[in-house]
Chains A and B, each alone.
Chain A
C-alpha cells in the first residue's frame, strides 16, 4: 500500500470474522484483478441465472406435461453406413469437441502470460475452430430433428414441450458458443497485432473465462437433456 496514511495497517491484519470483513473491504479494490476480469465474473454469475431459469423451466414443463416424454436414447441416435443406430453418438462427439476446446483455451491463456504471441493466437484460433465445429454439428443435429418432424410446437413422439425446450435451450447455448467464437477471433486478431504488449494479456484469460463457462453450461445441458 503506497498511501498507508489513509488506512491503519494494524486494522488490516486482524483475525477472525472481523479480519475477513476488513480484508474484503480494503480501499481501492476488493479483488486484485483487472476490471475486465471482475466484470466478466459478475456477468457470468448473472448468465448462470439465465441458464438456471431455462433449466428449471425445462424441468417444470417436463413434469407438468401430461403426454409422454420422448426417449432421448432413441431420438438422438445415429446410424453409420447402415449400422444399427448408436444412441447419443453425435452428442458424445459434440461434447468431446467442446471439452477439447477448453483444453486449447487453457493452453492459450498460459502462452498469453508467457507472452508467446504466436502460440497464443494459434491456440485461440484452434479453440474458435473447435467451437465452430460444435455449432456446425449442432446445426446438423437440428436439421436431422427437423427432418423427423420435430417442431417447437409439436413432434411425432409425445409431449410438444420436447421440441420447444430442445430448440430453445440448445439454441440459446449455441448462440453463446457462436458469440464466443467471434469474441475469440476478435481478441486473437488483437493479440496478433500486439495490441496488448503494454497492457498485459489478461484479456486472453477473460475470454477464456467466458469460454469455459459456456463449456460448463453445456455439461449441464448434456446431463439434464440428453442423459435423463
Chain B
C-alpha cells in the first residue's frame, strides 16, 4: 500500500489543542514547549557548570587561598564541569532545544512525527539531570575521575566519588542516552519523512542539515558510551574485569584480573570524538543561517556546505584514537589516525572559507546575533588551527596533557559553540517570545564575552608550551614552570570571573525583554526560512494555521537582483533563481 506523505494528507484529524495549563506547559507534546523546557533545563545546568569552572579557576589562580577547595572537590569540579558542558548543556541545548524548536518549523510540519515520544525524551533528560545533580548530595560526592571517566582510575579507591558518585554518573549517562535516542529518532524521521510540499533535502536550511547530521552521529556514537558505561558499571558493582587489570590497591592485590584499560579508552573515544561534532555540526548549521541572514547574502557554496557537513560527520568516526596517542599505540595506527584527523581539516576549512565568502561584499548588519556569529568564526579558526598541531602525533606527544590542549578544545568546542548558542538565542528570540531583545545590552554582552574568552584562553596556549600540566590541583615547585606563570594564572582567573559575571547581562536582557521588549513582527530580520513565515508570532499550536506552507525555492534568496525586497521567503511562489553567487560571480 502506497503511503501518503504528510503534506498530501487532508487535514482530517483535527489538532488536539491542549486545554489546561498542565497539558499546555508541563506535560506538553508541542515541540515548541518541549524545546523551551529542554533549553531552560540545559541553561540551568550550564550555570552550575559555569560555577564549577570558577571554583577551578580560583584554586589555580590563587592556590592556598580558599580553604573550601580541597583536592577532592577540585577534581569533582573538573569532572562535573566537563561532563555537564559537553553532554547536558551543549548536546541537549543544540539538539533538544534548537532541534526541537526549528525542525518542525523549518520543515513546514505541525509537530514532530511522534510527539508523545518527544515529550518522554524531555522527561528522561530531566531525570538524567536530576540523577547527575543528586550525586552532589551523596556521601563522597560526585565522581572526580575527569570527564573521560578512564578506568581503572574512575572506580579505584582514592578517586573522589568512587563510593557512589561514579555510579550516579553512569546511571545518569544511561538515562540521557535513552532520552537522546527517543528525541533523536524523532528528529531524523521528521526531517526525512515529513517535509512539506516542495521542500527537498537540497532546499533545507543548513541549520537542519547540521542538526540532522549531528543527530545521526549521536544515534551511532552514544551506543559506544552506553556499552562502556554498562561495562564500567559491572566492573564497579559486580566485580567483573572488563577494563580492570590485575593491580595493587592500598597495598593489596585487588580482585580484578586481566581486563583492558585501553578498551575503555577506545569505546569512550569512539563516542567522544563524534560527540565533538554532535556539538559542532548544529553550531555550523545555525551560524550559517545567522550569517547569511544578517549579511543579506546567500550562503556561499550551499551544496559544498551540505557535503562538507556530511563528510565531517562520516570522517568523525575514523579519528577517535587521536585522543590516545600517549596511551600506547602501534605507530602505524598513529599514522592512520593522524592522517584522517588532518583530512577532516579539509571540509572544515571549506566551511570557514564559505562563511567568510558569504560575508564578502555583503550588506552586513552588525547586530547582536551577527556579532556573535562573526566572533564564532574567529574563535573557531583559532581553535581549529591548534587542532592541526595536536592532530600530529609528533607534536601532540610533548603537548599532550598540558594547558595547550585545554586551550585548544575550549576554543574549538567550548567557546565556539557557546558563541553560536548566543547568536542563535538572540536570533530566534523574537520568534520564540514575540519580543525584541535590547540591542545595546546584547552588544555589551558580546564584547565582554568575546574579549573575555580570549583573555582566558590565549595565555593558556603559552602555559601549555611551558609544559604546565592540566588537571593538577596545584603545581608545587617545578623547575620548568617559571614563577611568572602564576601571575598569568591569576589573570586568567580574573578574566574568567569577569566573563562569568558578564553573563548576567544576557539573563537580564532575555528576562527584561520578555515583558518590556518591543513587540516583534513576524519576520524582524527579513529572513527567508519558513519559521519566520508563520501566521502567528510566537507560533501557535500546530504552527501553520489552516494549511501547510508550500516551498518554491531554496533557503537563501537574499538580495536577488531585480526583486523588490532584499529577500524572498521560501514559500513565495514564482521563478526559482539560479543558485549562483551574485557578487563573486562564481558558480557554486
A residues with a Cβ closer than 8 A to B are 2-3, 5-8, 21-22, 24-35, 38-39, 42-43, 45-47, 49-50, 52-54, 56-57, 60-61, 64-67, 113, 152-153, 159-161, 163-164, 168, 172, 200, 202
Interface 0/1 of B186-201, CB less than 8 Å to A:
1011001111111111
Picked from A26, A30, A160, A202, the residue with its CB within 8 Å of the CB of B241 is: A160
Q: Tell me, yes or no, whether B258 is within 8 Å of chain A by CB.
A: yes
A59–chain B nearest beta-carbon distance, Å: 10
What A residues does B189 contact at CB under 8 A? 35, 38-39, 42
Find the residue from A39, A113, A172 having the highest chain B CB count within 10 A. Answer: A39
Q: Tell me, yes or no, whether B149 is within 8 Å of chain A by CB.
A: no
Q: Tell me, yes or no, whether B397 is within 8 Å of chain A by CB.
A: no
CB-CB nearest in chain B for A164: B240
B220–chain A nearest beta-carbon distance, Å: 5
Picked from B195, B202, B257, the residue with its CB within 8 Å of the CB of A160 is: B257
Is B258 in contact with A65, judged by CB distance below 8 angstroms? yes
Is A34 in contact with B263, judged by CB distance below 8 angstroms? no
- The CA of A30 and the CA of B193, in the complex, are separated in Å by 6
What A residues does B242 contact at CB under 8 A? 57, 61, 161, 164
Q: Tell me, yes or no, whether B113 is within 8 Å of chain A by CB.
A: yes
Is A27 in contact with B258, judged by CB distance below 8 angstroms? no
Is A153 in contact with B238, judged by CB distance below 8 angstroms? yes
List 14 A–B pairs whose Cβ atoms lie within 8 Å, in order of A's numbering.
A27-B7, A28-B196, A32-B3, A34-B3, A35-B193, A53-B226, A53-B228, A57-B231, A57-B267, A153-B240, A160-B258, A168-B230, A168-B234, A200-B1
Q: Tell me, yes or no, whether B550 is within 8 Å of chain A by CB.
A: yes
Given A6-B551, A21-B202, A53 contacting B227 (CB threshold 8 A): yes
- The CA of A152 and the CA of B237, in the complex, are separated in Å by 10
Find residues 285-336 in chain B having any chain A CB closer than 8 Å to their own CB. none
B197–chain A nearest beta-carbon distance, Å: 5
Given A3-B198, A31-B192, A159 contacting B223 (CB threshold 8 A): no
Given A2-B8, A39-B189, A159 contacting B219 (CB threshold 8 A): no
The 4 closest A-B pairs by CB, nearest first: A6-B198, A25-B201, A65-B258, A164-B240
What A residues does B136 contact at CB under 8 A? none
Is B8 in contact with A35, judged by CB distance below 8 angstroms? no
- The CA of A202 and the CA of B7, in the complex, are separated in Å by 20
Interface 0/1 of B79-120, CB less than 8 Å to A:
000000000000000000000000000000000011000000
Picked from A38, A153, A161, the residue with its CB within 8 Å of the CB of B192 is: A38
CB-CB nearest in chain B for A32: B3
Find residues 218-274 in chain B having any chain A CB closer than 8 Å to their own CB. 219-224, 226-228, 230-231, 234, 238-242, 255, 257-260, 263, 266-267, 270
Picked from B188, B200, B220, B224, the residue with its CB within 8 Å of the CB of A26 is: B200
- The CA of A43 and the CA of B178, in the complex, are separated in Å by 12
Q: Tell me, yes or no, whether B552 is within 8 Å of chain A by CB.
A: yes
B98–chain A nearest beta-carbon distance, Å: 20
Is B551 in contact with A35, judged by CB distance below 8 angstroms? no
B215–chain A nearest beta-carbon distance, Å: 10
Is B193 in contact with A27, judged by CB distance below 8 angstroms? no
What B residues does A61 contact at CB under 8 A? 241-242, 258-260, 263
What B residues does A64 contact at CB under 8 A? 258-260, 263
Q: Tell me, yes or no, whether B50 is within 8 Å of chain A by CB.
A: no
Is B193 in contact with A31, judged by CB distance below 8 angstroms? yes
Given A32-B2, A42-B219, A153-B255, A27 contacting B198 (CB threshold 8 A): yes
Q: Tell me, yes or no, whether B185 is within 8 Å of chain A by CB.
A: yes
CB-CB nearest in chain A for B231: A57
Is B239 in contact with A53, judged by CB distance below 8 angstroms? no
- The CA of A8 and the CA of B222, in the complex, are separated in Å by 39
- The CA of A26 and the CA of B195, in the complex, are separated in Å by 10
Is B193 in contact with A29, judged by CB distance below 8 angstroms? yes
Q: Tell me, yes or no, whether B40 is within 8 Å of chain A by CB.
A: no
Is B226 in contact with A50, judged by CB distance below 8 angstroms? yes
Given A27-B200, A28-B6, A53-B227, A38 contacting B193 (CB threshold 8 A): yes
- The CA of A74 and the CA of B5, in the complex, are separated in Å by 56
Is B234 in contact with A152, judged by CB distance below 8 angstroms? yes
Is B7 in contact with A28, judged by CB distance below 8 angstroms? yes
What A residues does B221 contact at CB under 8 A? 49
- The CA of A42 and the CA of B117, in the complex, are separated in Å by 15
Is A159 in contact with B197, judged by CB distance below 8 angstroms? no
CB-CB nearest in chain A for B112: A35
- The CA of A161 and the CA of B242, in the complex, are separated in Å by 7
B547–chain A nearest beta-carbon distance, Å: 12
- The CA of A50 and the CA of B21, in the complex, are separated in Å by 40
What B residues does A28 contact at CB under 8 A? 5-8, 194-197, 199
- The CA of A153 and the CA of B201, in the complex, are separated in Å by 51
- The CA of A168 and the CA of B238, in the complex, are separated in Å by 11
CB-CB nearest in chain A for B199: A27
Given A53-B267, A61-B259, A66-B258, A39 contacting B3 (CB threshold 8 A): no
CB-CB nearest in chain B for A66: B258
CB-CB nearest in chain A for B227: A53
What A residues does B552 contact at CB under 8 A? 5-6
Picked from A5, A25, A39, A202, the residue with its CB within 8 Å of the CB of B200 is: A25
Q: Tell me, yes or no, whether B398 is within 8 Å of chain A by CB.
A: no
Find the residue from A24, A61, A159 having the highest chain B CB count within 10 A. Answer: A61
What B residues does A60 contact at CB under 8 A? 260, 263, 266
What A residues does B194 contact at CB under 8 A? 28-29, 35
Q: Tell me, yes or no, whether B181 is within 8 Å of chain A by CB.
A: yes
What A residues does B230 contact at CB under 8 A? 168, 172
Given A6-B197, A27-B198, A168-B234, A67 contacting B258 (CB threshold 8 A): yes
- The CA of A113 and the CA of B266, in the complex, are separated in Å by 45
Q: Tell me, yes or no, whether B18 is within 8 Å of chain A by CB.
A: no
